[in-house]
Structure formats: C-alpha cells, structure tokens
Structure 1
Amino acid sequence: MTESWAILNKYKVLAAAFVLIAGSFYMGVLTAKVSVYEKQLGIGNKGNTLGQKVIAADQPTPAPTAPPKDVKVDSVTATDHIRGNKDARIALIEYSDLECPFCKKFHPTAKKVLDTYQNQIVWVYRHFPLSQLHSKAKKEAEATECAAKLAGNDGFWQMMDKIFEVTPSNNGLDLATLPDLAAQVGIDKTAFAACLDSGEMASRVDTQYQSGVNSGVTGTPGNFLLDTKTGRVIEIPGAVPFENINQAIDSMLK
C-alpha cells in the first residue's frame, strides 16, 4: 500500500513538472509572437519623427492614429504672412517653430504643396515658438517680423527660408548671426539689428502663438487646411509627408 502511494505521488510530481514546463514554453512562444506583432505594427516604439509637443520636453508628438479631424482655426487676414495666391480657395495654415527639427523637415514639403497646387492654394505661416524646448525660437521669430517690417512680405519669407536653411535646429543657431543673415537676403543690417534689439516684434509673435493655442495646437508643426469657400477646416499635425496633405487637399477641392 505504501509502495503504491509512493509510486502514485511520484507520477503526480512528474505530471505537475510536465505541466509547468509546457506552460512556460507556451508563454514564451506567445510573448515572442506578441513582440513580432508589435514590431510589425510599429506599436513598440516610444518615439516618432512627426513633431514636438508644447509641454513635455524632448517628447515627440505621437503619430496620428486616426483620419484628419475637422476643427476651427483663425481665418486668414491682411496681417498674415502669405505665400502664393491670396485669393486661393485652400489655405495651408502652419503654426511653426524655427528651431523645431520637424518644422525644418516640413518646410520643403509645404513648398512642394504650393508648387503642386499653384493658384489653388495659399501658404500662411504663423509663429508658435516652443520656448520650453527652444529658448532661441521666439527671438528668431521676432527676426522674421523685423524682416517683414523692413522688406515687406517677401523679406519675411526670405528671412524665414534662410533661418531654416542654416539652423541645425534644437537651439543650435547663434542669435548673433541674425543680422548677418538679414544682410544676406538684402535687408539693411543696422536697421534690422535696431529692430531686433528693441523687442518691438515680441507682442506680434505672442499674438500668433495665442492664435495657435486657441486653435488647439499642442505641438509643431501644427498644420491646418482651410477651405475658404465652405469654411471647412482639416487639422493635419506634424511633419507629415506630401502624400497626406495631397489627399486632404484633393478631397476638399472635389
């Protein structure tokens, strides 16, 4: 009787061990499969290349996971800086930071949009410096406003293009070089320096920043497509590829 119980207990122990080993193997396989699925879907990544958030320092804006949504944005006015046909049906309104690497990446994309749609679209640039991340961005924004004061709308865009061209982003531009950059685009260096040093353009930058806040911008670049005919607005945040904007514009022009 004792021997029989001993044999029975022995088999029970072996059976339990087998179940434990088999269960561990199954969980290992399941974990491996989940890991593979995460990589395939791209959900295991903590970073992305689309944009920068306003508050969370050094944390990029999450990639959009849903189709562009309808929102509201301040309409285009005579005080805006525009590039292209001012009477165009579609306005690409960009809230941007001159030291944001994602804004620098998006800059040629916006140019391509303008070149592709020509008279059907106008590009509107508004300042949204992320001072928590880029302490120099606001002064650079003021620099473009000084360029606008001294050389008009063309001067504004030329100065902005130049800053995006030379800055390494992430606070990498030496602010002392701004007067030289202005001179390179044909603006009087002395008058420019006087304007920049006075800080007279700070309030204009602040107003545009607040406009972005009111429109729900939480990171840069903050992009909106406004159909001036219907009033419809589509938000497309981040340094999205041309194809994303292309599809949205085509849907609005139908």
Structure 2
Amino acid sequence: MIDEEGFMDRAIERGIESYIQKQRAVSASEKNRARAQHARNLRPVSAERDHIYGDPNAPISLVEYSDFECPFCKRFHPTVKKLIEQNAGKVNWVYRHFPLEFHNPGAQKEAEATECASELGGNGAFWRYSDLIYQRTTSNGRGFPIDRLVPLAEEIGLDGKRFRDCLDSGRMADRVREDYEDGVKAGISGTPGTIFLNHVSGDLFATAGALSLSRLQAAVDRLLSDQTAK
C-alpha cells in the first residue's frame, strides 16, 4: 500500500509539473505574439530623423530603445557595434532614446546631451559622444555626473559654449520624449528593447535584454534567410 501511495504521489507530481510547463509555454507564446503585434507600430526608420550606425541602406535595421544609465544597455552597446561591423552592408543600428524614470534626471539629460552633440557635430559626433558615456558611466541613475556633460562635448571637439546653451535650453527634451513615446507604442517596456526589421521583406520581430553576439547574429541570419526564401 505504501509503495502504491508513493507511486500515485509521484504520478500526480509529474502531472502537475507537466501542466505547469505547458502553461508556461502557452504564456510565452502569447507574450511573443503580443510583442510582435506591438512591434508593427514601430516608427519607420529615417536617415533624416534617426541616428544610424553602419550603412543606412542596409536591408536590416536593429532598432534599439535604450537608456544611458541602464547597466544592461552599457553591456549591450559594444556588442551591437560588433554585430554591425561583422555584417557590413547587411545590418545597421538605429539608436532611439528610452530613459527610464528611475534613472532620471541623469538618463534624460544624457539623452538630451547626445542630441546636442548631434546638432553641433552631426551623426558621427552623436555616436562618439554616446560611446564615451557608455564607457564611463557606472550606471543606475548617477553613473555619469551631469556637470561633466559639457566637458565631454569639448573632449570630442565640440564648442563648449554652444553645447551648454543647447543643453541648458531644454529644447532637446521633446526629441527624447518623442522617441520614448514611439517606443511605448511599439511595445517597449524596458531597456534595452530591440526590434529587428527587414526593409526588403517587411519582416520584423522584437527582443528584450542584453542579448549575446551569437543570439543577435542568429536573428540577423534568420531575417536574411527568410528574405532569400521569399
């Protein structure tokens, strides 16, 4: 009798575990469908509006919504750069702002500062300035002193007075907010939030978190393969 009771207990436990696993699979599938549906609201990539690293005419864009004070974004930043460099002409990187409230005011002001760098020095200055912030911040909201934003601009050769005037005016806040609101519409809820888009086939899908280079490459290969098949 004892053995039979033990057997029944183990069978019940296996049944419960199987049910839980199936429910998790259903939940994950539903989340993926919802994420894909929201991603369709992604604002079209524009060379005039967006900050693009790599070939602007590449068939695939990795659109990242990011926060300069996010530690996962800090880790993700050089990984994406490697992906673009090893897929020259195939993939470009579109950077959009998504400063999280609990990382402000730092994340917000850093985002505005990169826009001032772009206004004064173009797309190249945007990326040089952004790279340095990610390299030097210790993250989590207070990782890079706001009073060092102007000296950092001067370090890359920008006019300090003009940069300070731009930053102090607060006029880049609307640009940052537009990116954030676009991200929300596309289903972004945390950082880094990434949407892969194939401009040729129209296929796209969303991912979240600081993915490894191998996983990013797999996503690119998948989109290129689907494009070829179509």
Q: Same fold (TM over 0.5)?
A: yes
Give the 4+ runs in structure 1 shifted more than 6 A.
none
Task: Please list every run of 5 or more consecutive structure 1 residues that lacks an aligned counterpart in the other structure.
Answer: 1-18, 38-63
Q: Distance in 2 between matches of 1:243 and 1:68?
A: 20
- Relative to structure 1, is the Cα distance of residues 80 and 102 closer, same or farther in structure 2, using a 3 angstrom cutoff? same
Do structure 1's residue 204 and structure 2's residue 175 form an aligned pair? yes
Name the counterpart of 2:155: 184
Task: Provide the secondary structure at the position in 2 that maps to 1:126.
Answer: strand
Do structure 1's residue 140 and structure 2's residue 110 form an aligned pair? yes
Q: Distance in 1 between matches of 2:61 and 2:204?
A: 9
| Cα offset, 1:134, TM superposition | 3.4
Task: Provide the secondary structure at the position in 1 that maps to 2:89.
Answer: helix
| Cα offset, 1:137, TM superposition | 0.4
| Cα offset, 1:150, TM superposition | 0.3
Do structure 1's residue 102 and structure 2's residue 72 form an aligned pair? yes
| 1:32-111 correspondence runs (5 A) | 70=36, 71-72=39-40, 73-77=42-46, 78-111=48-81
Q: Distance in 1 between matches of 2:28 and 2:93?
A: 25
The size of the alignment, in residue pairs, is 203
Which amino acid in the other structure matches residue 251 of structure 1?
Answer: R
Q: Which has the higher helix share?
A: 2
| Cα offset, 1:185, TM superposition | 1.1
The correspondence for 1:243, drawn from 211, 214, 223, is 214
Task: Provide the secondary structure at the position in 2 that maps to 1:235.
Answer: strand
Q: What is the RMSD computed on CA atoms of the aligned residues? A: 2.6
> With structure 1 as the length reference, what TM-score do the two structures score?
0.73
Per mean C-alpha deviation after superposition, the further-off stretch among 129-138 and 228-237 is 129-138
Larger radius of gyration: 1
Q: Is the 8 A contact 1:68 1:236 kept in 2?
A: no
| Cα offset, 1:74, TM superposition | 1.5
Task: Please list every run of 5 or more consecutive structure 2 residues that lacks an aligned counterpart in the other structure.
Answer: 18-26, 226-230
Deviations 1:188-209 (A, max 9, x none): 1111111100111010000011
Deviations 1:200-224 (A, max 9, x none): 1010000011110010000000001
Q: Distance in 2 between matches of 1:126 and 1:248?
A: 20
